[in-house]
Amino acid sequence: MPFRKTYLALATGFGFLFTINTGQSAETLNVGGTELPASLGNPYAAIGVTPGSILGSIYDGLTQIDSDGQLKPALALSWVNDGDRRWVFTLRADVQFQNGTPLTAASVAANINDLIKPENRGYPIATEMSVIESARALDEESVEVITRTPDPMLAKRFSLFRVVDFDLWSEIGPDEYSRAPIGTGPFHLETWNQGGAIAFKAFADSWRPSPTFTDLRIFTLKDSIARTQALSAGQIDLALGLTPEDAPMIEAQGLKPQVHYGNQVMALGLPNALKEESPLNDQRVRQAINYAVNREAMVDFILGGMFPLATQGATRANVGHNPDIVPYTYDPQRARALLADAGYPDGFKIIIEVLVGMGPSDSLIYQQTAQDLSQVGIMVDLRTTTYPERTRKYFTGDWGEVDGFSILWNNAPYNDTGRALKDFSCLKANPFFCDESLSARIAASNQEMDLNKRETQLQSIMAEMQTLAPTINLIEYGSVIGYSNRIENIRIRPVGIAYESIRLAN
């Protein structure tokens, strides 16, 4: 059977797999998402586009990083810093939570002080806020924040700080609050499972622009093929987390694919601090590995030219990107020479552990990397892992027999290389890569309040990182979405889709 007929037959029968009201309505936006946030509506338990698209619809931060990568006001209209450790954030007036409770400076300060308590350090967002020493309300609309050290990224950090009704949070506890979350965002939760979807209603009193629809339903469909088929069948309006292979299928159905550039770099970590006898401890070996990988072929043949190859651990949109860095080119001969110089003329065996299904065609990219390395004598035992297990290893440093692993240069939440650099240094708790002199420079850059001077420092650090080669930087990470012709004005922020900006026609 020809592909087109097979595809349409699958799409036609897809409605039997789950219940979706296929009648299109100007009042409802139907979305095919990937998964529920693991901690439901707990605003401090997750970072990333997948949970952020849901949590960012319920909650607001004090600031936001817009789809253009610029820092913008959110619950805070303005902020000032004294050049050192003191910040003052001025809040919007007349903001209220979805239960009618007014937003106050006292509540925001109490929220901050609670999050930074030692017992809450397990929250990913708490880790981002660990630089904060204290917060207090100066008046009804002003919050003073004191940091432990100068922090040029603090205003950016508050884009991830989602504000709760603190009195209610304190009364019922985080677990109960996460099941029935209350924020100040443009949508309030109705149910986590209504007809197989997370169901939201527009919050009429949100300070954000009012959406043109009243109902938002997000169906959790873990397979990109299922999401593509549901979009083709008209069962959803917007499909998230697609692959480059899905794009031509979508276009063939008269629908629209769109590439989202995440301002992150997809990489494989090459640790020098895990095993005393690891070949990866030698800089020449790490450089050889970088020369052995054909990134151009990945971009052209696996990604269909949709995503650019990575030239360094930053994208052009990131603060600290160094335009003068010379990227590693595909040069197997040079790779073999470096391996021989390091004492490995016949290569070696290595275990690389990867998470798959997290980015565009990532499984194929990792397989191609292993194949490329085999051509210079490096035999890769490529293993997959789960997100919880990866998280455990990452934070504990207990990597077992693993030599290398998939990782992101995750500059995106702040659009700033200062966030990711710490993870590739001795500054990380239980570090996997450590260079003492460079770590001191990274620490200094993350306390430099002169932004022009800091930019120069970061660019210099990125140049040194290119020489040290703690990673194989593969592609500039992103995602593909697909949508129907009735959708306009899709904006994707680093922490998720701004559903309220979408315009939906009949």
Q: For residues 156 and 190, state if they share a domain.
A: no
For residue 14, the one-letter residue type is F
Residue 152, domain member (yes or no)? yes
Which residue among 173, 200, 221 closes a domain? 173
Domain count, the chain: 3
Residue 50, domain member (yes or no)? no
Give buried/exposed letters for 54-91 (b at 16+ CB in 10 A, else e): bbbbbbbbbbbbeeebebebbbbeebebeeebebebbb
> What's the pLDDT score for residue 47?
77
> What's the pLDDT score for residue 506?
64
Q: For residues 321 and 466, state if they share a domain.
A: yes
Residue 405, domain member (yes or no)? yes
Residue 289, domain member (yes or no)? yes
Residue 54, domain member (yes or no)? no
> What's the pLDDT score for residue 448?
95
Residue 14, domain member (yes or no)? yes
Which CATH number do you get for residue 460? 3.10.105.10
Q: What are 120-124's contacts with CB under 8 Å, separation 24+?
A: 120/44, 123/42, 123/44, 123/45, 124/44, 124/45, 124/46, 124/47
Q: Is 325 strand, coil or helix? A: coil
Q: For residues 209 and 133, state if they share a domain.
A: no
> What's the pLDDT score for residue 358?
75
The rounded average pLDDT for each run of 10 residues, N- to C-terminus, in the chain (506 residues) is 29 40 72 84 83 90 89 97 97 96 97 95 89 96 97 96 96 96 96 89 93 92 87 93 86 89 91 95 98 96 91 93 96 98 97 87 94 98 90 90 95 89 92 96 95 96 97 91 91 87 84
Which residue among 120, 140, 173 closes a domain? 173
pTM as predicted: 0.85
Q: For residues 169 and 199, state if they share a domain.
A: no
> What's the pLDDT score for residue 359?
77
Q: For residues 225 and 299, state if they share a domain.
A: no
Residue 346, domain member (yes or no)? yes
Which residue among 173, 202, 224 closes a domain? 173
How far is Cα 358 from Cα 315, in angstroms, rounded to an integer?
Answer: 19
Range of the domain at 158: 60-173
Which CATH number do you get for residue 161? 3.90.76.10
Q: For residues 132 and 271, state if they share a domain.
A: no
> What's the pLDDT score for residue 112?
97
